[in-house]
Amino acid sequence: MGVTGLAGVLCVGEVLIDFLGEGGGSLVDAAAFRPAPGGAPANVAVAVARAGVSVAFAGRVGGDAFGRRLRTVLESAGVDCRPLVTDPQAHTTLAFVMPASQGAHGFAFFRGADAGLGPDDLPPALFSGRAALGCGGVSLSAQRARAATLHALRAARAAGALTVFDVNWRPALWASPQEAVAAFREAIALADVIRCNEAELELLCGTAGTVEARARSLFGPAVAVVLTLGERGALWVGPEGVAAHPGFTVNAVDAIGAGDCFTGTLLAWWAGRRDAAAAATGGPAALTETEVADALTRCNAAAALSTLRPGAMGAMPTRDEVDRLLRERAGG
């Protein structure tokens, strides 16, 4: 499917090779590892492209076979990789992952090129005309990449784009939870929409108070928090109020990348809304309750479909597939 003429989305951050553990119950006991393209912002970019919206990805890969493979996969999915830098002096970042479905969920990272992304890799022209920016918390765990991520958030905001930050907490990348929280809050201060799961909300806000109250403690009047709840759907807490969607029941095969699919679908939805409005200026312009409900429904539908196939990038559904599910479940 080709992309539409919608104002484009920019995703910034890590792209890497996930080695997915199989059997054994833990990383050290895995019987085998299967390589797959990954990295949350890169997964998000593929989800945007599959939704039919133009998207570019800015990041760094090494000058190795893994880096070449990642560029090929992204380009084949319809992602503009001109902002993706190849660093011949670095290796492509690797992550060993034990999916929860295989045993004890776990991660081990071997950082490489992604950590070298810097503000100078993100020129001002890259942000011009963008409807939205998507980035995440993994890049904040390396000093140079953190500077690049914060720069991207500021530049996108200045250009009138919606800024979406996915907390994506990976404890293995941080010296302590406190260090992670401090970095996350720097990005949250520049984000229009924050996506997190229940564990990440607890990390940021503790357990005292209602979910709504804790989510609201993260933002001012112009920001929204989207709490993804896995098979239980999602919750939107924003200036428009609180909205929930219970999700879609499907025969899931692999949930890896479902949250990234949700985020990418949200970015694509926003680009469509902005294009339709014609006069939208970006940022968290006033949304109606109906629009929020429609967004949650669509994002949950896409995320559910992404669990029907193994892997992340290759499992992202097309816009037509999401439309079909929504028609089938209409009124359900």
CATH homologous superfamily of 9-329 equals Ribokinase (3.40.1190.20)
Asked if residues 311 and 256 have their Cβ atoms less than 8 Å apart, the reply is: yes
Q: Per-residue confidence of the chain (332 residues) as pLDDT tens digits?
A: 334 444 699 999 999 999 988 887 788 888 999 999 999 999 999 999 999 999 999 999 999 999 999 999 999 999 999 999 999 999 999 999 887 766 556 789 999 999 999 999 999 999 999 999 999 999 999 999 999 999 999 999 999 999 999 999 999 999 999 999 999 999 999 999 999 999 999 999 999 999 999 999 987 666 899 999 988 999 999 987 899 999 999 999 888 899 999 999 999 999 998 766 644 444 445 788 899 999 999 999 999 999 999 889 999 999 999 999 999 988 54
For residue 94, give the H/E element and its range: strand 94-98
Looking at residue 105, its pLDDT comes to: 64
How many angstroms separate the CA atoms of 231 and 324, rounded? 20
Can you give the pTM of this predicted structure? 0.93
For tokens 């996350």, the residue is: 184
How many angstroms separate the CA atoms of 46 and 277, rounded? 24
Asked if residues 57 and 78 have their Cβ atoms less than 8 Å apart, the reply is: no
209 conformational bin, left if phi > 0, alpha if psi -120 to 50, beta if neither: left
Strand partners, 59: 84
For tokens 């953190």, the residue is: 146
245-251 contacts, C-beta under 8 A, 24 or more apart: 245/293, 245/296, 245/297, 245/300, 247/300, 247/303, 247/304, 248/300, 248/301, 248/304, 248/325, 248/329, 249/304, 250/304, 250/305, 250/307, 250/308, 251/308
How many angstroms separate the CA atoms of 47 and 51, rounded? 6
Residue 322, Cβ density class (10 Å: 0-12 exposed, 13-18 middle, ≥19 buried): buried
How many angstroms separate the CA atoms of 177 and 174, rounded? 7
Domain boundaries of the chain, sorted by first residue:
9-329
Looking at residue 240, its pLDDT comes to: 77
